[in-house]
Every structure is written in structure tokens, then in C-alpha cells.
A and B are shown apart, each in its own frame.
Chain A
Amino acid sequence: MALLETRNLTARYGDFQALFGVDIVLEAGETISIIGANGAGKTTLMRSICGLLANQPDSIRFDGRAIGRLAADEIMAMGIAMVPEGRKLFASLSVEENLLVGRYGRAIAGHWSLETVYGLFPILKERRHSPATALSGGQQQMVAIGRALMSNPRVLLCDEISLGLAPVVIRDIYRAVPEIKAAGASLIVVEQDIGQALRVADRVYCMMEGRVTLSGTPAEFSREAIHDAYFGAAA
């Protein structure tokens, strides 16, 4: 049984339909990437899974339970943590407080604690008393990842974590992935950077206009297939 899956997931904002029957499967211990152009529905998919958008109860299942209609705080407590697009750090909290608030709804013992997060991103320990928004973009992204790890999640959702960051910084951040996996989390990584997505993932889903247009292991993907899935076969 898959750890997390969506079945025929649809989502709409008012009159605008953003997802048309999306099926995604995440097995325990696996990392999957979701790629696609702007407006493909990647962020809507993430918001649906983490509970910021309500869906049909049965369209999202986690560990055998239908979670489509649960609220974000309930889903987080079950062990799905999110690194939201744009980082969304709490401006009136310090770095350390941002990390601590990450375990508010799920304070369970596990690999991740302040100490191990600081071990993963040593710079955060130096800056732990600074206001979170005073940090550089890359450091803020580390806080956002650390904050999500603090709850020792079973699934970590990463939405566009490389957006707006320099390549060196992106490499630093992705260097954390093996330790995150080793600690027992399965990952869903949403990326616009196709190279990065193919490197990190066991399997890849490509989305276009609210539908999955291609899926498989990175090895199976040809440049042409990705191009077609990304921009449409006619292009």
C-alpha cells in the first residue's frame, strides 16, 4: 500500500478549475519530483495535500486514511509537513522560534530536534536569535526546511525550494536531502528546475494544465518526452 496517494484529484478556485483528476503515488522511503511550467497546478496539488485546500475526502489517502477533507493542522499532526512556496517564515519570530513553532502540532521524539537541525544547517545556530526575515534567501529557505523537519514528519512536501536562489545555494540546500531521507521521511519535491528534479527523485511526475502528462523514473525520461509533457506535444 502506498504511503500517500491522490486518486482522481480535482481542485477549483471558484469558477476556475486548477486540477483535473490527478493521480500521484508516493511509496514509503521514496522521493518523487513534480515538475511543470507555471500554472501547471503543482502548487495547487501541494496545497490540496497539506490541507490548505479542501477536496473530496477520498481523493487523497495517507497511510490508508482518507484525508482530503481534513484541515491543515490535522494533516500536519498526522505527519505531513510542508515547506511552503516563498518560505513563509513568521516575521515576528526569531530563527529559533520559527524552528520551535514547527513542532507545535506534532511534538514527537525522533531524529530531528533543534540540535540536529543546527547540525544540518550550522549557519542557523549562529543566527538563531536573529529575526527570521533578517536572513538571506538561502538561509531563510534552510529555516523553512528545518521548521518542517522539527515535527519529524513522515512525508515532507517541498514547494519550489530553489526558487530565486543562486545555484551554489541550491546545491547546499539539496545536500540535506540524503540526511532527511535517512531520518525516515519520504519526499515530494516540486521543482521548476528540471535538472535538479531529475537528480533528486526516484520517480518524476510532469504536470501541464492541471493534469499529469508524464510519469516514470528519471532514467526513462528523454529530453523530448519532457519537453512534450511540459509544453504540449504540438509545440
Chain B
Amino acid sequence: MIWFDTILQGVLLGGLYALFAAGLSLVFGVMRLVNLAHGDFIVAAAYLILLMVTMTGMSPFLAVLIAAPAMFAFGWALQTFMLNRVIGDDVLPPLLVTFGLSVVLQNVLLESFSADSQRLPSGPISTASLNLGGINLGVMPLLTFGSAVVVIIALNQIFYRTALGRAFRATSDDPSTASLMGIRPAGIFAIATGIAFVIVTIAALYLGMRSSFDPNIGPARLIYAFEAVIIGGLGSFWGTLAGGVIIGVAQTLGSAVNPEWQILAGHVAFLLVLLVRPRGLFPRAVD
């Protein structure tokens, strides 16, 4: 029973990692770009929410609703004015620019907010739990997982049921031919990054409410997100959720054996999947 409980906790933790990963998966799916500052943007968004909450006393959930459009605009601008300039056949420029962004962002946060750990106030919800057939499940982890599922469903709806989604996939297939359909690839990329930043904001909410954060934890979140995307298979959103769950379960199982092994177990699970299924569990994208 204890093992079942551990695995269940891992599955729910996987929801958080899927939230970290969904934006990365979206951007990669549309433009084959990996933003190495993705984790740092999640942390930055958590600070933004914290700032709004401490200045106005509003609920973090309300703060996310207000922050999300602003983050969309920020992501749109980042893509339009910076990343579109370096995107192309050569992977080096976007990698180096986003790596530079990661370093800059960490140090801006460090300078603005100090290295002290922070946490978003979540009220009684953080300790509330539901008893389901003898198993206690925290409301917060359940809410996280539920949000991840909603985000994945929403992404799938956008991708496979809307004109914008068709434009995303067409541009991903062949940007040059897409432009013959009246699609402006640079604009499509900007919208995709904007949506990714909305998901980043949602991820930041749960990151900040479930545990403490500081300016230096971004890169580790990027790595978890990356592992979830690769395990799931490039271009598959449900695969990304599955990948997050696998990392989450591996971490809680590892930590049940020895608390020092938590992170290591997640990485080892990733390497094992890479060994057995190099293209991930549910590959969709061509590369």
C-alpha cells in the first residue's frame, strides 16, 4: 500500500513537470527551438505573481489571470524582437542566445529579489487533503495535475481543431509553403511563444505554491521539462504529460529508497528511456 501511495504521489508530481514541459513542447513542435531560459522564465513568472500578491494582497489564482496576458505579450515580443532573428537552420545561435538569457535572467532575479527562498501564500488549500478509499491525496497536487490535464487538452484543441492550429502545424512542416497560404511564419512563431508563456505563468503558480523557490532553481526545472518532452516523444502533448509522470514517479520512488536519490532517479529514468526508445514513447514530429 505504501508503494501504491508513493507511485500515486509521483503521478501527481508528474503533473507539475508536465506543466513545466508543455510550453517547451509547444515551441519545439512549432519552430524546432529550445529555449534554454524556459526554467528561468517560470521562476521569473513566480516572482511576478509573488510581487502582485504581496503588493495588493490578491489571491495568487487571481494574480495568474492578470499576469497571463502580460506574459503572453512578453513572449510574443521576445520571439518577435529577439528569437526570430536567430532562428534558422543553424542551431547554435538560438541556443547561445537563450543560454545567455538564462544567465542574465537568473542574475536579474538575484539582484532584484536576493537569493532568499520565497513562497506564494496559498492559504488553507496547501494543507487540505482528500481521503479517497484510504489514501490521502493533497488538494494542491490534485489541482496541479488537473491543471496539467486541462492545459494539455487545451493545447490539443488549439492544435487540432482551429485555424491557428492548422497554421502551427503547416508552419512546422514547411514555413516557406505556409507563407503561400498567407501565413506569416514569424507571426505564428510569436503567437506560439506567447501561448507558451501563458503556460509558463500557470506552471509558476504551482511551482510557487507547492514549494519554495529562489532565483537559481530555473535550470533544474528546464531539465525536468526537457526530460518529460523527450520521454513523451517530440510533438505529442499527451506524451509530454506521460513523460512528466514518468519523471515524477521515478523521483518519488527514488526518494522513498533514499532521499538523496530523488533527483538522480529521475535522470536515470530519462537515460533509460533514451536508451530503449530514442524517439520517445509517442513520437509524432518528424525529427
Residues of A within 8 A of B (CB): 50-52, 71-73, 76-77, 81-82, 84, 88, 90-93, 97, 100-106, 147, 151
Contacts and interface: CB of A to CB of B under 8 A. Distances in A.
Nearest to B169: A92
A44 B216 CA distance: 52
A73 B169 contact: no
Interface residues of chain A: helix, strand, loop or mixed (majority): loop
A72 B182 CA distance: 7
Contacts of B286: 91
A93 B169 contact: yes
Contact of B181 (A52, A71, A147): A147
25 contacts: A50-B180, A52-B176, A52-B179, A52-B180, A71-B184, A72-B180, A73-B179, A73-B184, A84-B180, A90-B173, A91-B173, A92-B284, A93-B166, A93-B169, A97-B166, A100-B163, A101-B166, A101-B170, A101-B178, A104-B167, A105-B181, A105-B182, A105-B183, A147-B181, A151-B182
Given A91-B286, A93-B166, A100-B166, A77 B173 contact: no
A72 B179 contact: yes
B9 interface: no
Interface residues of B, number: 19
A90 B165 CA distance: 13
Nearest to B183: A104
Interface of B: 163, 166-167, 169-170, 172-174, 176-184, 284, 286
Given A50-B180, A76-B179, 9 more contacts: A81-B180, A90-B169, A90-B173, A92-B172, A101-B163, A102-B181, A105-B181, A106-B182, A151-B182
B182 A77 contact: yes
Nearest to B185: A73
B173 A92 contact: yes
Contacts of B169: 90, 92-93, 97
Contacts of A147: 181
A76 B172 contact: no
Nearest to A78: B182
Contacts of B180: 50, 52, 72, 76, 81-82, 84, 88
A88 B179 contact: no
A100 B170 CA distance: 11
Contacts of B179: 51-52, 71-73, 76
A102 B167 CA distance: 10
Contacts of A82: 180
B183 to A, nearest CB: 5
A88 B177 contact: yes
Contacts of B176: 52, 72
A77 B179 CA distance: 10
A76 B182 contact: yes
Contacts of A72: 176, 179-180
B287 to A, nearest CB: 12
Nearest to B285: A92
Of A81, A82, A100, A105, chain B has the most CB atoms within 10 Å of the CB of A105
B173 A93 contact: yes
Contacts of B182: 73, 76-77, 103-106, 151
A151 B182 CA distance: 9
B252 to A, nearest CB: 35
A103 B174 CA distance: 16
A95 B40 CA distance: 40
A101 B170 CA distance: 8
Of B176, B181, B284, chain A has the most CB atoms within 10 Å of the CB of B181
